[in-house]
Structure 1
Amino acid sequence: MSQSTNVSSSSSKNKRPYRKGNPLSTSERQQALVARRKDTHKEIRVYVQNALKEEFQRLCEAEGLTQTEMLEVLIKTASSRLAGDVTE
């Protein structure tokens, strides 16, 4: 008594299509990200007091923002406030 099995399986339909070449390593993906960002972003390196850095991290966590997002918000807020002071 031999049973015939269905050769085609549904799991093969759910797989992603084959991509030629090896996947990028973590460092290669990071380098690609940095290269893409250089078109639209500039890097800022700063040193601040430890207590201020910790407070900044708490602010970011409280607002649910990354440090980059929080810094962008602070710069935009200060810029708009400065622009408002100049026109008044």
Structure 2
Amino acid sequence: MSQSEKSVTSSSKRAYRKGTPLSVSERKMRSVSRKRETHKPLNVFIGNSHKEKLDAFCQENGLTQAEAIELLIERELLCD
């Protein structure tokens, strides 16, 4: 096989433009560090029945748990 034929077949694949891709854990760490600039982490334990209600609320309204909790806090603060 000549040199020109090799270059055609090897260049048919698209090369990754920014070097080697990040691993899943590296992408997660970068995402979390960006989020920490504007958010605070919250780790809580709630009763099973409340968790089930939260899950149902999120499903019905198309929200993440974080969005639902923020919405409920806003609603509570607006009522005061």
Q: TM range, normalised to the smaller chain? A: 0.7 to 0.9
Moved over 2 A (4+): none
Map 1:7-22 → 2, pairs under 5 A: 18-22=16-20
Over 3 Å counting, the alpha-carbon distance change for 1:18 and 1:76 in structure 2 is: same
List alignment gaps of at least 5 residues for structure 1. Answer: 1-7, 83-88
Computed over aligned residues only, the root mean square deviation of the Cα atoms, in angstroms, reads: 1.7
The count of aligned residue pairs is 69
Shift of 1:19: 1.7
Relative contact order, higher structure (CA 8 A, sep 6+): 2
Bigger radius of gyration among the two: 1
2: CA distance between counterparts of 1:18 and 1:24? 11
* TM-score scaled by length of structure 2: 0.77
1:39 aligns with 2:37: yes
List alignment gaps of at least 5 residues for structure 2. Answer: 1-7
